[in-house]
Every structure is written in C-alpha cells, then in structure tokens.
Structure 1
Amino acid sequence: MEINDLTPAERRVWEAFPRGDGVDFRAAPEDSSVDGADWGPERTLRAEVLRAILLGACPPVQGRIPGLKIKGAKIVGKLDLRYAVIDHPIRMRDCWFERKPLVYGAQLRALVLGYSTLPGLTASTLRVEVVLRLSCCRIAGPVRLQGAKISGGLFLQGAVIGPTAGEEADEPPLQLNHIEVDTDIIANDLTVHGQLRLNGATVGGQIQLDRARLLAPGGIALHAENLTVGTDLRAHRLKARGMVNLTGSRIPGQAYLTRADLANPDGTALRASSCTIGELWLRRCDPVRGDVNLRRSTVDLLHVDPQAWPERIAIDGLTYRTLAPHLPAEQRLPALEREESGYLTYAYEQLAAAYRTAGDEAAARTVQLAKLRRHRHTLPRAARLWGLLQDVTVGYGFRPLRAAGWLTALLMTGSIAYGIDPPRALKAGEAPDFNAVFYTIDLMVPIVGFGQEGAFAPGGWHQWLSYLLIVTGWILATTTAAGVSRSLQRQ
C-alpha cells in the first residue's frame, strides 16, 4: 500500500505507529463507541490499512518502539490478522468496528480493545504474550477464544457480550473452552446474554466473576465442566439465569458464591458434581431456584446457610470435612430430607462426622438419632413397631436417660399403688415384710430379685398393674440393651 492512498485520519496513524505514539480521534473523553456508526471520515480507518501497518508496511524509527495506539476510531472493513505474527502491541480503545476482527491462530504481543463496540471476535487458538483486554466492550457476539493461550491475563470486566434484546444467539456468545491463561481471568461486572463456556479451561491464578450477569434462561449460563483453577473462583453477587455447571472442576482455593442469585426453576440451578474444591461458599444467598447437584464432590469446607438450599438437592457421595456456619443440628437436618434419591445413610453419617470434627458430640448424636428415625420408615411394619419402641424408650440408645425416666415413673406408680393396698402373702407367716418399692422393682427388673415378687400375689386391678410392670420392664430392658449395644458398636 502506498502512503499516497491514505486518508488524513489514516496518515496520522501511519506516522504515529513507528514512534509508538497514540492517536486520539475522540471529540471529548466521554465519547462512546456505541455511537461509532455515525462518525464521519475524519475518524474513519480502513481495516486493510491497519493490517498493512501491523505487518510491517511502515518504516521503523531508530530508537523507538512501534505500537498501534488508537482511541475513538471507526474501523471499516475486515481486520484480518489470521495466522499473523505481530511483535507490536495493539491498543484500539473506544473504537467502533464495522466487521468482527479475525485473529484466528495469530501470535500477538498484546491486544487491548477496551470500551470498543464490535459485532464479534474470532480469535480461536490465539497466542498472546502479555494481555488480552476486552474490558467494557460491547460485543454482539460471538467471541470465539477456544484454545487460546494467554501468558498474561484476560480482562473482561464490565463487558456486555451477546445479542441485543429480542434476538437469539446461534452459538454461545462467549466461548473460552480449553483456553489457557497463565495468570487471571478478571470478569467482574461482566454481562453475557447467553452462555459463558469454560469447559476444559486452565487458569493459573483465579477467575473473578463478582457481580457478573450470566443470562441464559432455561439453558446453561456457565458451562465450566473440568475447569482447572490455580486458586479461586470468585462469584460474589453473581446473577445466573440458567444452570451453573462446574462438573468435574478442580478449585483448590475458594468457590466463592456469596450472595449469589441462582435461578433455573425448571431444572438444575447449580451442578458441581465430581468436583474437588477447597472451600465452597453459598453464604447469605437467597434460596436457590432450581435443583442443586453436589454428588460425589469433595469439599474441605462447605459454608452454606440452611435457607439457601432449594426444595430438591442431590448430595449422594458428597464429602466435606467441616461445615459452616456452626448451627444446631435441627437446622441442618431438613436439608437431608430434600435429597432427590430419598433416604441416604451416607448423608447423615457425613453430617454427624462434620459435627464431631467441630467437637459437638451432642449435635452428632442428634443427627444419628434422626437417621435411625428416618430409616425406620423404610422398614416393614413389625420392624417399624420395634424401632418405635426403641425410640420412645431410649431414643435408639442416644437418649439413655429416657429409660431412667420411664423406670422412675413406673416405680412411683407401683410403689404408691401397692403401698396403699398391699397384695396378700402367698404363705402367711413365711413371707418377708412387704416393701412396695422393692416389690415394684422385682416386677419391673427381670434380672434383679429381692424375694418380694414370689412371696406376694396381687389381686383385682393390682394384678393387671403387675402384668403391665412386668411387660414394660422386659421392653425397657430389651430396648436399653439394644441401645447400649448400638452405642458400643459406634464407639
């Protein structure tokens, strides 16, 4: 391309590039690229001119570092940099693009398109040595960054990506699957009208999605299966309409979903099955609208408020070491009844183990008792009756003082009844002196004998009372023995 073919606006860029100087076409700092379609020729640049500049058409200037630095330009035509190797930084801020840039397979030093408006970006398998910055961009989509490798960071904060209202996307608007980022993905305040895809991505640092809005009602808002993060996934105040899918992900630090708003009413709102996560935070969240699936995941710290759980959860195989905040077991148990598979022994055992780790043995016993009570409803009728007796008498061994209470009540009843109207002696003159208390104990406790029961014979309604005391004593003794045996087995 000859320099004589350039427009005045293009000539400014041509002359500034070898020296690394910036060219600002904005009439005022507050100019928005959203209005770029109406800009005139004084700030219009042809994409083919920019391509020629980047590929070496401009003669270098001794002692200066070249670079494309433009603000507020209207880019017309197709900026085609496919497979190009460019050692100069590209900074095109507040620009409006007529057609989506093509940088498929290119190798760039740095690409900065902050605050620009684009119809899309095709950059699959792109290689960037320093940074890729799309902060506060307006991109109708799709943004294709599959398989890209970025040695620095990827910045998407404040960007709005996807079709405008009333339009539907033919493909996910933001495609970051299998991307490799050596440092961080910063996407705070990001808005995606459709799916954010991160399947198989590897991020050396953290992913920040604080206050992000992922809007794919009825679909998958965040598709991040087998995601690998070096530290944290932060999504404070995330708003997701559609499923958040983290299946198989590895997050050694925090998966931070505090105050998140997750909604997928007709399906699963959060799926984090088969994950390995250091800390999973669902703190101060509104109730999740949709199912939650945490099957087979391993979490060191599970921080979830009871009110955050939806009506149906799937926690079969979920393993966690500690549970926060520390609350009474009665507040945690209702969640276990929402398991979609029904009664799961493992879920109760896991909750009890978490309470033991926290040193709260009383809460652990409460969980174990709740487990046996729920298990009772799965048994045949006869077994349910026996379980009910164990529950009423000794709380399956977790409430041993109940037996003492029953024995005390029956002992007082028998002692008063037989003390007012003593039974007759079987052999007058040979019977020991009658003692109402020990006579009642003889009737109730089958393994203890004080010589009272065999020496006296009650009559009338006292005889029926003695039968009741004998039967009740055997039941208490048997259920107590069963409870003690169960307690010893646990220890």
Structure 2
Amino acid sequence: MTPAELELLEEIEPDKRVEFHGGGREIGAEFLARQLIRVMGERPRKLSLFNVVVVGKLDLEAADVGFPVEFEGCDFDDVPNVEQAALAGLYLVDCRLPGLSASQARFRDGLALHGCVVRGCVQLNGAHVAGQLDMEDCVIDGPPDGALKADGLRVEQDFYCSRKFQVTGLTHMIGAHIGGQFICDGATFRNPGEDRTLELSGLVVQEHVFWRNGFSVQGDVNLNGADIAGRLVCHRARFTNPGRTALSAIGMTVRQEVEFSETCVVRGELNLVGCKFGGWLKFTGGKFINPCGVAINLTRSVTSLNLVLRRGTAVRGELRLAGARINGLLGAQGAHFENEGGVAINATGLRVRNDLSLSVRDRKRFRARGQVVLSGAHVGGNLDCTGGRFEIDEGDALVAHGINVAGDAKLCGSFFARGKVDLAGASVEGKLDFTGARLEHNGDAVRCDRVRVKHAVKFDKVRATGCVRMCDARVGSEITFLKAVLQGKPSLKLKGTQVVGSLRLGFAERPSGSVDLRLVRAGSFGDSERDWAHKSRLDGFVYGALREDSMELDKRLTWLRDRHAYVPQVYLQLASTYANAGQHDEATDVLMAKEDARRRSLDGIFGRLHRMVWWVLNPTVGYGYRPLRIVWWLGVLTAAGGVIFHFLRQNPDNFARARPGLEAYWFDPWLYTIDLLLPIMSLNHSELWVPLHGARWASLAFTVLGWVLAVCLVTGVGRLFKRDER
C-alpha cells in the first residue's frame, strides 16, 4: 500500500465520519473498492475523500456500499463502474472523470455529479435514486451517440441540471421518472453534427419542469409522450434547430400551465401535436422562428384554461391550431405573426369555449403577415379582431368559412385587412361589426355569403377598395352602411339577403361601382341620393317600408328613369310601399312612372306607336291611374272653346241657323263647346247651328278632341294599360 492508502486505512473506523484530504496523492482503485464494500459492523458512517487521484478502474459492479461516499476535487483515470450496485449515496463534487457507469444502480439516498467535468459517457440507464440527483455545473463531453444515457432512470426527488450544466453529445432519458422537480435553469445541451440532442420521450415528472434563465438546446428535443404533473416553464430559454423540429412533444401531458415566454426563443418547429395542458398555455414574449414552415404546431391539442400569445410574442412561420380545443379563451392581443405568401395562423376546426381575441392590447396591435384561417372554428364567446392588422400580398387575408361565434364578431375600430376577408357560411349569434374597418383588395374586400347573424351587421364608416359582398345572408336585426366609403367595382352585392329589420345605406359618398340588391328582402329601407351609382340592380328587392330620411320620391323616380333598366317589380314594390303607408298619391306617381319607363324600354315600330299614345294618355288620364284629369281637360277646353266661339259668332257668316226662327242671341259659345266635347251625349245645342268657314274647322277640332278625351276616359276606367305583369 502507498503511504496515502495506509493513512486512509488508519482513519477508517466503524460508525465514524471519515474526511481524508489527499493533497493530490494517488490511491489505488482496487484498494478503495475493498474499503467501500466493508461488511456490516466495519463500515464508517460516511467517507469523504478530498483532492485524491484514483488510479485504475474503480469497479463496484453489483456491490453493496452501505454508507455514503463523497469525492470532492478528485481525479479518476478510468471510468468508475457502479452498475447494479447498491449504494447509500454517491457524491462527486468538482471531480474529473473519463465517464461513469451506473446503469441499474440503486442509490438509497442521493447521487451527485456537482461541478464535475466528464470526458466521456455518463450511464444511468435504469438507475434508481431515492433522493435527489444533483448535476449542477456539471460538464459532460461525450460521444455523439450518447453523452448522458439515462433511459428508465428513476429519481424519487428533484433532478438538478442547472447553472453551468453542459452536455456535448446526445442526452438519452427515454422513460425516465422524476418524483420531484426537473430543474435545468441555465443548462446547455448540444450535439454538433447530429439531429437529436435531448431525448426525453416518455419522461414522467411528478412536479414541475423548469427550463429557464439561459437554458439552451442546439438540436432536436424529444418530449413525445411525456407526462408532467406540474408546470413546464421555459423562460429566457433557447431551442435551436433551424429548418427542422426544435422541440417535439407529441402527445405530451402537462397537468398545470405551460410557458414559453419572457424572451424564450425557438428556432425551428415547436411540435405540440395532441398535447394536453391542464392550465394556461402561455407564449407571451416568446419568439418562434421557422420561416416557410410550421413554427408552433398545436394540432388537436387540448388546453384546459387559456391560451395566450400576447404582446411581445413573435411567430415567424405558421401557427397551427387545426382541431385544437381551448376550454378558456384564446388571446393574441399585440402578437405578431409572419409567414409571407403562406398561412400565418391555421386554426381550422378550432374550438374555443370563451373569447378568441386577435386585437389590440396596451396600444400594441395584433399583426399577421400571411393568411389567417379560422374555417370551421367554434368560438363560445366573442371573436374580437378590433384593431387587428391582417396582411397578405395576394389572396385571402382572413378566411373563416363556416365559423360559429356564440357572441359578437368584431372586426371594427382600426381593423385593417390587405387581402380578402372571407366569412362565407359563418354563424354569429350576436352582431357582426365592421365599424370603422379599412379593407383593401382588388376583388371582393369582404365576402360574407350565406352568413347567419342573429342581430345587426354594421359596415358603418368602413373604407373598402374592393367589393363588399354578402349574398344569401340572413340577418335578424339590421344592416347599416352609414358614412361608409365603397370604392370597389362593383361596390356592394347583397343579392338574396334577408333582413328582418332595416337595411340602411347612407354612404359618405357615392359608391364607385354598382350596388346590387337583387332578391333582397328587408323590413324597412333607408337610402339617400348619393347612395346610388350607375347600373345598380334592384330586381326582386322587397321591403316593407321606407325610412323617413330616405331619398325623396321625385329624385328616386329620376334615378330609376335615367340609371336603372326597366324592371316592373321595382316600381310595383315602391308603389306598394307608399300605398301601405297611406300615401296613395305617391303610389300613383310611381305607377305612372312605371308606364313611362315601360314605353321607353320598347323598341321598333311597336315601341314608337306606344310612345305616340304615351303623349296622349299620360297628360289626360295618367295611363288610367288618374282618370279625373279628364275633368280638368274638359274645363280647359270648354273655357278655350267658349272664348274662340264667342269671337267667331261676331261674324254672322261663321254660323248658319239650322231651323228658321232662331235668334242669333240664342247662341251660347260655352254650351256649344260642351256639346262638341261630349261625343256620346248630346245637348242638342250644336245641332241648331251650322258652322261655316273658320268656325267649321274649330268645331271639327273640338269634336276630335272630345272623342280623344272620351277614348282616354274609357281607357282609364277600363285599366287597359295598367297590367302589372308587363
């Protein structure tokens, strides 16, 4: 034995704490092994070795070391072997080792490699540590295929891999079980030239996992199937595997909250497919970068409380939430998403029990450069995009086909979309609000075909450079466009939409393109003169009443005459509305305007004949709608004829007596005129006088006028020209 070994041997006494300071001297591994496997009754209470060099291979395989052993500041020139051994406790502090073999070892107390430098592999496969596993400040530089091998490792209490802990090579901990916390604050894992770095699939942690304060992984982290009973916290952590999966946790279960926040950076895909989270899922303040790929994948995941990606969160790549379920709210106020030319957020089939908020928070706007897809999603509260900014170079900025919203859908305030907003087939239990929104797209700026909204739809103060399209929609309250500016061509399409309440236009300026209200049904309608552009369509538009602030009748009829093709139903609907309101004169004016428009629409010889008749029927009996006008014409013609025939009788040569004995003063010019103007009835006054010279032509003219008035009167009474089917 060497002097150091003799000195150590002398100090070892039963049930005594032994502290041996070697001063850098050598101790043989075989000698040391014999001292560590002493039988009961000869064992010290604890053996602590300081600053010694262990020469040779310390082989304790399957041995039983019944007392704790501590090495501090020691060097090992060969790999210690404690495989299948049973140790009270093994504590390596600030030691230097070429490796450690401890597979299937049992540590009745704890295991520590605190501050150690290991130039090789640490093998803990199947090991069982009844206390803590302390690897703080440990540096392991092992082979790429396994620097730390701990498959099936079981630690009953906490596992510390924190501060300056560093592993170069693959860390393999499949199926490991940690009964306390897994703390890796400040730890670094890397495996240069290899895809996998941290293999933790099937990991079970009974308390929390803390990856914080500079925690860094270069390469793939595999947490597939992991089960964490507490929290998973990644604050100021970095996961780096550009263009590939940085962290895969498919099917992972975390029973409390998960945080990737406070400047956490993930370069590569964060794959959380099918995960279950028992508390909040927080990404606030994190940066997730995987350009042209999936940055965060939460497909079919379940979050028991809230999912938040609030201000400071930046996602470059796709956030995928397809089929995910969130039992609280989804809040992304102030977050930035970017995946230019692709999908920024894919939430197809997402189910959110409370609100889904893509809006403003603390003056920080939600921004998405790339397509946001909410098709088939179900939102149990409000869909709040107030102040959000959605941009894409070409195509649809926001797609929400068939989305179901139990509250309000708010795309208002300073909401901005560069690209189409497509809500086709959406169902909104509250209101759909675009008030103050700015919409930019060359085609349809908004597409809301077949939407179902139980309350109001508001486009007040909207500025749209494309068409606002809402065909075949069903709205339970009202649709309003007050002070809106529509610059698309066409500007507005509401074909087939039904509104239980009112439809109000009231644009701030005349739309640049046409307004299509074909087959629309509304309880009431309000408009103004500037609401109508050229070639607008009103075919089949049905409304119950006109609002008091609507366009005046004469201006409406002028617009219909000059800027709308003749459609009988348009006039009949307008006339019916006035008639139902008790405004029968206005209704009659509309029907007369209808006949004017009908005759203008006729072409060819038949059309010219109708227009010739028009010049007679309109001023005389109003196409039969105002037959009492004939009385006015009779009065005017009677007065005119009385004056004419009064002057004509001054010349005796103009009239001859039909019977002898008639006196000239018996001639009554007004009675004579009336007798001429009544072709069917006769007052027998005109038969007493024979008109000659000029009186003959005047009498003929008044007789013809009388017949014309009679024909017009018969036409009016018979309604020959009032045929609605025309």
Q: Give the TM interval when normalised to the shorter protein.
A: 0.7 to 0.9
Q: Report how far residue 381 of structure 1 moved.
A: 2.5
The match for 1:388 is 615
Answer whether contact 1:124 1:146 (CA < 8 A) is retained. yes
Q: Report how far residue 339 of structure 1 moved.
A: 6.1
CA deviations over 1:403-435 (Å, ceiling 9, x no partner): 333322322233233334432202221689322
CA distance, structure 1, for counterparts of residue 706 and residue 677 of structure 2: 4
Identify if the C-alpha distance between structure 1 residues 215 and 9 changes in structure 2 by more than 3 Å, giving closer, same or farther: farther
Identify if the C-alpha distance between structure 1 residues 108 and 446 changes in structure 2 by more than 3 Å, giving closer, same or farther: same
Which amino acid in 2 is paired with 1:457? V
Q: What SS does the aligned partner of 1:450 have? A: coil
Q: Indicate the larger mover: 204-213 or 46-55.
A: 46-55
Which amino acid in 2 is paired with 1:313? S
Identify if the C-alpha distance between structure 1 residues 362 and 154 changes in structure 2 by more than 3 Å, giving closer, same or farther: same
Answer whether contact 2:353 2:381 (CA < 8 A) is retained. yes
Matches within 5 A, 1:350-361: 350-361=573-584
Answer whether contact 2:330 2:357 (CA < 8 A) is retained. yes
The match for 1:160 is 389
Matches within 5 A, 1:48-87: 55=275, 66-69=279-282, 71-76=284-289, 78-87=295-304
Are 2:485 and 1:261 equivalent residues in the alignment? yes
Identify if the C-alpha distance between structure 1 residues 9 and 69 changes in structure 2 by more than 3 Å, giving closer, same or farther: farther
The match for 1:311 is 534
The match for 1:201 is 426
The match for 1:240 is 464
Give 2:373's match in structure 1, choosing from 144, 149, 164: 144
Answer whether contact 1:431 1:456 (CA < 8 A) is retained. no
CA distance, structure 1, for counterparts of residue 459 and residue 537 of structure 2: 22
Instruction: Could you tell me which runs of 5 or more consecutive residues in structure 1 were left unpaired when the two chains were aligned.
Output: 12-16, 26-40, 58-64
Matches within 5 A, 1:68-147: 68-69=281-282, 71-76=284-289, 78-94=295-311, 95-109=313-327, 110-119=329-338, 120-135=344-359, 136-147=365-376
CA distance, structure 1, for counterparts of residue 491 and residue 510 of structure 2: 11
Q: Report how far residue 186 of structure 1 moved.
A: 1.3
Answer whether contact 2:273 2:300 (CA < 8 A) is retained. no
Which amino acid in 1 is paired with 2:321? V
Identify if the C-alpha distance between structure 1 residues 412 and 140 changes in structure 2 by more than 3 Å, giving closer, same or farther: same
Give 1:323's match in structure 2, choosing from 546, 549, 555: 546
Answer whether contact 2:236 2:262 (CA < 8 A) is retained. no
CA distance, structure 1, for counterparts of residue 303 and residue 475 of structure 2: 34
Answer whether contact 1:44 1:74 (CA < 8 A) is retained. yes
Instruction: Could you tell me which runs of 5 or more consecutive residues in structure 2 were left unpaired when the two chains were aligned.
Output: 1-172, 174-181, 188-210, 217-228, 238-260, 339-343, 360-364, 650-654
CA distance, structure 1, for counterparts of residue 330 and residue 639 of structure 2: 88
Answer whether contact 2:279 2:304 (CA < 8 A) is retained. no
Which amino acid in 2 is paired with 1:73? G
Identify if the C-alpha distance between structure 1 residues 216 and 421 changes in structure 2 by more than 3 Å, giving closer, same or farther: closer
Q: What SS does the aligned partner of 1:414 have? A: helix
The match for 2:598 is 375
Answer whether contact 1:68 1:91 (CA < 8 A) is retained. yes
Answer whether contact 2:402 2:426 (CA < 8 A) is retained. yes
Answer whether contact 1:259 1:284 (CA < 8 A) is retained. yes
Identify if the C-alpha distance between structure 1 residues 349 and 245 changes in structure 2 by more than 3 Å, giving closer, same or farther: same
Paired residues in the alignment total: 455
The match for 1:451 is 684
CA deviations over 1:91-147 (Å, ceiling 9, x no partner): 221112233321111111222111011111111111111121111311102111111
CA distance, structure 2, for counterparts of residue 437 and residue 258 of structure 1: 60
Q: Report how far residue 466 of structure 1 moved.
A: 0.4
- TM-score (norm. length: structure 2): 0.58
Q: What SS does the aligned partner of 1:101 have? A: strand
Q: What SS does the aligned partner of 1:247 have? A: coil
Identify if the C-alpha distance between structure 1 residues 155 and 424 changes in structure 2 by more than 3 Å, giving closer, same or farther: same
Q: Report how far residue 458 of structure 1 moved.
A: 1.3
Which amino acid in 1 is paired with 2:288? I
- TM-score (norm. length: structure 1): 0.84
Answer whether contact 1:215 1:242 (CA < 8 A) is retained. yes
Rg bigger for which structure? Answer: 2
The match for 1:60 is none
The match for 2:658 is 426
Identify if the C-alpha distance between structure 1 residues 20 and 466 changes in structure 2 by more than 3 Å, giving closer, same or farther: farther
Q: Indicate the larger mover: 126-135 or 478-487.
A: 478-487
Q: Report how far residue 402 of structure 1 moved.
A: 3.9
Q: Report how far residue 383 of structure 1 moved.
A: 2.9
The match for 1:14 is none
Identify if the C-alpha distance between structure 1 residues 462 and 366 changes in structure 2 by more than 3 Å, giving closer, same or farther: same
Are 2:702 and 1:469 equivalent residues in the alignment? yes
Answer whether contact 1:369 1:395 (CA < 8 A) is retained. yes
The match for 2:586 is 363
CA distance, structure 2, for counterparts of residue 488 and residue 388 of structure 1: 14
CA RMSD in angstroms, aligned pairs only: 3.1
CA distance, structure 2, for counterparts of residue 450 and residue 192 of structure 1: 81
Q: What SS does the aligned partner of 2:680 have? A: coil
CA distance, structure 1, for counterparts of residue 534 and residue 236 of structure 2: 56
Identify if the C-alpha distance between structure 1 residues 49 and 312 changes in structure 2 by more than 3 Å, giving closer, same or farther: closer
CA distance, structure 1, for counterparts of residue 262 and residue 715 of structure 2: 92
Which amino acid in 2 is paired with 1:103? L
Identify if the C-alpha distance between structure 1 residues 369 and 9 changes in structure 2 by more than 3 Å, giving closer, same or farther: farther
CA distance, structure 2, for counterparts of residue 401 and residue 10 of structure 1: 96
Identify if the C-alpha distance between structure 1 residues 353 and 285 changes in structure 2 by more than 3 Å, giving closer, same or farther: farther
Q: What SS does the aligned partner of 1:373 have? A: helix
The match for 2:98 is none
The match for 1:37 is none
CA distance, structure 2, for counterparts of residue 20 and residue 364 of structure 1: 74
Answer whether contact 2:273 2:297 (CA < 8 A) is retained. no
Q: Report percent identity of matched pairs.
A: 26
CA distance, structure 2, for counterparts of residue 450 and residue 367 of structure 1: 39
Q: What SS does the aligned partner of 2:449 have? A: coil
The match for 1:36 is none
The match for 1:181 is 405
The 4+ residue runs of structure 1 with deviation greater than 6 A are 19-25, 47-54, 487-491
Kindly indicate whether structure 1 or structure 2 has the higher relative contact order, using CA contacts under 8 Å at least 6 residues apart: 1
CA distance, structure 2, for counterparts of residue 149 and residue 322 of structure 1: 36
Q: Indicate the larger mover: 82-91 or 242-251.
A: 82-91
The match for 2:205 is none
Identify if the C-alpha distance between structure 1 residues 224 and 56 changes in structure 2 by more than 3 Å, giving closer, same or farther: closer
Answer whether contact 1:285 1:305 (CA < 8 A) is retained. no
Which amino acid in 2 is paired with 1:160? R
Give 1:44's match in structure 2, choosing from 231, 243, 264: 264
Which structure's residues are more often helix, by fraction? 1
CA distance, structure 1, for counterparts of residue 346 and residue 482 of structure 2: 34
Answer whether contact 1:431 1:455 (CA < 8 A) is retained. no
Q: Report how far residue 326 of structure 1 moved.
A: 4.6
Give 1:214's match in structure 2, choosing from 427, 439, 445: 439
